[in-house]
Amino acid sequence: MNENETLIRKFYDAFNKLDYRTMQECYHNDAVFFDPVFHDLNAFEVKHMWEMLCRQAKDFSLTYADVHADHEYGGCRWIATYRFSRIGNRVTNKITAHMRFRDGKIIEHTDDFDLWKWSRQALGIKGWLLGWSEFVQKKIRNSAQDSLLAFLNAQSPAKPNS
């Protein structure tokens, strides 16, 4: 096993324990992240996205397999099972992770999954009927982005004017 495979395992072992601090340590300071919900996050945002998701996790479990990496690229398949915090529906999300590495850290991370499948589980009948539409998918992305922004603001409240 090479050091990038070890890094992937460290990341997902930490995620399985909801240890966001260790997950954050796996990212390069110039990292970028993309998935069907969270688009184009920078290192600061992605580190806090994982913190937010770990802190909100309910009835969470994670498995991963097919870890592979060379000196620059790698990835794995992973499955997260949890209760969607807003509604309480049980979700099993099957994801493929693609990563690029620099200086022993993750510099690029893209997670790929079927947002319609996710929406059918998370949103119930609304997801079944409309989760395929760009309108609903955009609402999902906007809601997630708003949640991340609120989380970031709660972590670093604005200083009062003097």
**Hey, where are the domains in the chain?**
3-114
How many CA atoms within 13 Å lie on the side-chain side of 42?
3
Give me the pLDDT at residue 141, please: 85
What span, in angstroms and rounded, lies between the C-alpha atoms of 38 and 42? 11
* Residue 125 confidence (pLDDT) above 70: no
Q: Across residues 150-161, what is the average pLDDT?
A: 71
Mean pLDDT, the chain, integer: 90
Q: What is the largest CA-CA distance in the chain?
A: 55
Which has the closest alpha carbon to 137: 150, 151, 118, 124? Answer: 118
Give residue-wise pLDDT tens across range 58-89: 999 999 999 999 999 999 999 999 998 677 78
Looking at mean pLDDT, say which of 44-53, 78-87, 149-158 comes out highest: 44-53
Question: pLDDT tens digits, residue range 98-109?
Answer: 999 999 999 999
Q: State how far the Cα of 29 lies from the Cα of 26, in Å rounded to an integer.
A: 10
Burial of 61: CB neighbours in 10 Å, binned 0-12, 13-18, 19+? exposed
**CA–centroid distance for 16 within its chain:** 12
Give the CATH class of 3-114. Answer: alpha beta
User: Does residue 29 register a pLDDT over 90?
Assistant: yes
The beta strands (E) that lie in 53-146 are given as 61-69, 73-83, 90-102, 105-112
